[in-house]
Amino acid sequence: MTLALDAAAQDLLFREARTANTFTPEPVTDEQLQAIYDLVKYAPTAFNQQPLRVVLVRSAEARERLLPHMAEGNRPKTATAPAVAILAADNEFHEELPTQFPAFPQAKDVLFAERPVREKSAALNAALQAGYFIIGVRAAGLAAGPMTGFDAAGINKEFFPDGAHTVLAVVNIGKPGENAWYPRSPRLSYDEVVTTL
Identify residues 9-68 at the interface with its own copies (CB under 8 A): 9-10, 12-15, 17, 19, 30-44, 46, 48, 50, 52-59, 61-62, 65
Answer yes or no whether residue 79 interacts with its own copies by CB under 8 A.
no
Q: Are strands 52-57 and 83-90 parallel, antiparallel or unpaired?
A: antiparallel
* β-bridge mates for residue 61, sequence order: none
Amino acid at 36: I
Taking the complex as a whole, the smallest distance from the CB of residue 179 to its own copies amounts, in Å, to 15
Strands 143-147 and 52-57 turn out to be unpaired
Give the separation between CA 50 and CA 89, rounded to whole angstroms. Answer: 9
Q: Using the rule CB under 8 A, is 170 a contact of its own copies?
A: no
How far apart CA 38 and CA 132 sit, in angstroms, is: 11
161 binds its own copies (CB under 8 A): no
How buried is 130 (Cβ within 10 angstroms: 0-12 exposed, 13-18 middle, 19+ buried)? buried
Task: Tell me if 106 contacts its own copies by CB under 8 A.
Answer: no
Does position 103 bind its own copies by CB under 8 A?
A: yes
Binding of residue 180 to its own copies (CB under 8 A): no
Contact 19, 183 (CB under 8 A): no
- Does residue 194 bind its own copies (CB under 8 A)? yes
Q: Between 58 and 75, whose beta carbon lies closer to its own copies?
A: 58
Q: Please, what is the minimum distance in Å from the beta carbon of residue 196 to its own copies?
A: 4
CB of 195 to its own copies, least distance (A): 5
Which one, 23 or 132, has the nearer CB to its own copies? 132
Residue from 75, 79, 139, 176 that binds its own copies (CB under 8 A)?
A: 139
CA atoms within 13 A on the CB side of 183: 2
Q: Which of 179, 184, 155 is nearest to 77 (CA)?
A: 179
179 binds its own copies (CB under 8 A): no
